[in-house]
Structure 1
Amino acid sequence: MKRYEGLEGILLIDDDLPTNFIHKKVIEKAAVNAAVKSITSVQEALDFITYSGIYEDTPQIPRPGLIFLDINMPGLDGWDFMDAYNRLDQRFKARLIIIMLSTSLDPEDKAMAMIDREVVTFLSKPLRPEIVTTILDRYFK
């Protein structure tokens, strides 16, 4: 298992449970030594990052250094997450890498994602172990 400095956890934000399951297995196959948390809603993800809501008294749970964020979700979507995330206090955003994921073929989605300075890249689903390793090698020591 490879350990990356500054990477205690990886957060998967996707409403599709099978996709989260597959992506968690992909991360395990990439042999990353980090806790992987799957969350299916934008609000819960924001609560997790900010230690609020059901995560208020959970400092022992590793918080993410890397987020894989789906764009298309019912209710609040990936764009809504980014709007809320951009308004968060800097202490919750420090050293967080956000990768947007989608099955969308619309070039507008990628263009919109890359306008946001907090999003480092836009990838098509599904993740593959070599993609995870490339991202980690690029953004973490």
Structure 2
Amino acid sequence: MKGNNRKLDCVLLIDDDEATNFYHTIVLEEECEGLYIQSVRSAKEGLDFLLRKGKYANTPQPGIIFLDINMPGMTGWDFIAKYNDLSADIHKRAVVAMLTTSDNPDDRQRASALPAVIEFVHKPLTAEIFRKVMEENFN
């Protein structure tokens, strides 16, 4: 995907842990001034954001989605299954990076088999991880 014409206006953080979202927001704010950062605490709310439902009607579309795997209710895997059914327009605009505490090699293998997932990295989100995703996927 290198050399594409994507421009990053928004990052979506999907993690059920509020403290994790808070920390990751700080990392992103320090790395990219003026970037719209939205954190949500469930995969369902992440889908609502992507589809601009309800309170998200006038929000920018994310270019990067940092997605936790293990969440109550709808997991990160469930989110990806629903994400795959979304419009091609959303897929052209956004990339998904799984951000997890999982050490399970099956999770890494499962993620690598999903075209929508471009990274599988361990928490916490760092400036280096963010820059790598940026450099590989955005102008």
Shared fold, TM over 0.5: yes
Q: Distance in 1 between matches of 2:84 and 2:101?
A: 24
SS in structure 1 opposite 2:125? Answer: coil
- Per the TM alignment, residue 28 of structure 1 is displaced from its structure 2 partner at its CA by 1.5
Q: Distance in 2 between matches of 1:119 and 1:81?
A: 11
Q: Which amino acid aligns with 1:41?
A: S
The answer to whether structure 1 residue 116 and structure 2 residue 117 are counterparts is: no
Moved more, 120-129 or 31-40: 31-40
Point out where structure 2 has 5 or more consecutive residues left out of the alignment. none
Number of the residue aligned with 1:71 = 69
Number of the residue aligned with 2:135 = 137
- Percent identity (aligned): 41
TM-score (norm 2): 0.90
Q: Where do 4+ consecutive residues of structure 1 move more than 3 Å?
A: none
Contact residue 14 and residue 39 of structure 1 kept, 8 A? yes
- Per the TM alignment, residue 128 of structure 1 is displaced from its structure 2 partner at its CA by 1.0
- Per the TM alignment, residue 7 of structure 1 is displaced from its structure 2 partner at its CA by 0.8
Q: Which amino acid aligns with 1:14?
A: D
- Per the TM alignment, residue 52 of structure 1 is displaced from its structure 2 partner at its CA by 2.1
Number of equivalent positions: 135
Q: Which amino acid aligns with 1:99?
A: A
Q: Distance in 2 between matches of 1:71 and 1:48?
A: 18
CA deviations 1:59-102 (Å, max 9, x no partner) are 3x222000000000000010000000001122232221100011
Moved more, 64-73 or 128-137: 128-137
Cα distance 1:32–1:117, how it changes in 2: closer, same or farther (>3 A)?
Answer: farther
The answer to whether structure 1 residue 51 and structure 2 residue 52 are counterparts is: yes
Point out where structure 1 has 5 or more consecutive residues left out of the alignment. none
SS in structure 2 opposite 1:113? Answer: helix
Q: Distance in 1 between matches of 2:135 and 2:90?
A: 23
